Structure 1
Amino acid sequence: MSKQLDSIDEELAEWLRSQHVFFVATAPLSADGHVNCSPKGGDCFRILGPLEVVYQDYTGSGAETAAHVRENGRILLMFCGFEGKPNIARLHGQGELIAPGHTDYESLAALFPENPGTRAYVRVQVERVSTSCGFSVPFMDFLSHRDTLDKFALSKGPEGMDEYRAKKNAVSIDGLPALPLPTEQY
């Protein structure tokens, strides 16, 4: 049964922090645009307050979430209990892309382990917190986090990663601006 909460209480916060993966969903304003859902893993999620969260956004082959958040801010974070209790939690809200050059970038970076694949942070002002049963979500065993992105980023180095992001992460598949260029100002 679905339940709406006033905020992220301590019980939910503890459960959210214990999950190994969560999913981020966004969409452009255009009805012809592509809806996006991305898995997130690693030590990349923090709760900043009862209605505020942030996650460390790693470099990927695209940047749909960044583009959608920059365009309209709408975002959903969904957590599923693949171990333990069969829970699902959804955090609906307004996201903000915090890329290098943003006044809050360094203070958010201090909350996370340094990662060579980090390209930005996505801070979310949570507007709706809900939980529901995950009775149909399968049990899955967590083996470990992958280190493939870390190795890729280290092999490219900072300049190589900047070039990769400029080539692969500048615009969404729908042509929306995604990651700010280093020369863009907030």
Structure 2
Amino acid sequence: MATVLSVSGSPSATSRTTGLLRHLDARLLAQGHEVTRLDVRSLPAEPLLRADVRHPAIVAAAALFERADGIVIGTPIYKAAYSGLLKSLLDLLPQYALAGKAVLPLATGGSTAHVLAIDYALRPVLASMGAAYIAPGWFTLDRHITLGEAGAVSVAAESAVGLERVTDQFSAALCDRRAPVGAVL
């Protein structure tokens, strides 16, 4: 199966966005994919802020993007846009870091007023970075994500169904892209 990089652009240590990604990671693992996690907040701030593309942590993060077949990008929405932390990392990656890759954009926020942020703020950046396929994104209200003890995450039914649908579409796209030329899909 495919190698997936699961990227959290949340600056919070107790992030619902990260929790949602871990919930989704479990589904992708159950479907046979290999999942690698990258919490952007774990990268050192200095090289992110100074655009130090030669810093070993930034080089290692860029290598994770390069090795992945697919990338899930999760971000909280602040002021109708994806997080500045995520933007800092995306700015340091090579221009076509997503070339040939399938990407699933996810967002969380406190209001449905931010639901279009994926399409109007994040999707254009992902497309400009050369993504071969951008799955339909999914916005989840913060109140639909519950973080429990020991990392347990639950997603309210009204969000879970849509999240499962876009995750499965992303997974299918990964499988289709990994099929040998001439294979019947």
TM-score tier (shorter): under 0.3
- When normalised by structure 1's length, the TM-score is 0.27
- Higher relative CO (Cα under 8 Å, sequence separation at least 6) belongs to 1
- Using the size of structure 2 for normalisation, the TM-score is 0.28
Structure with more helix by fraction: 2
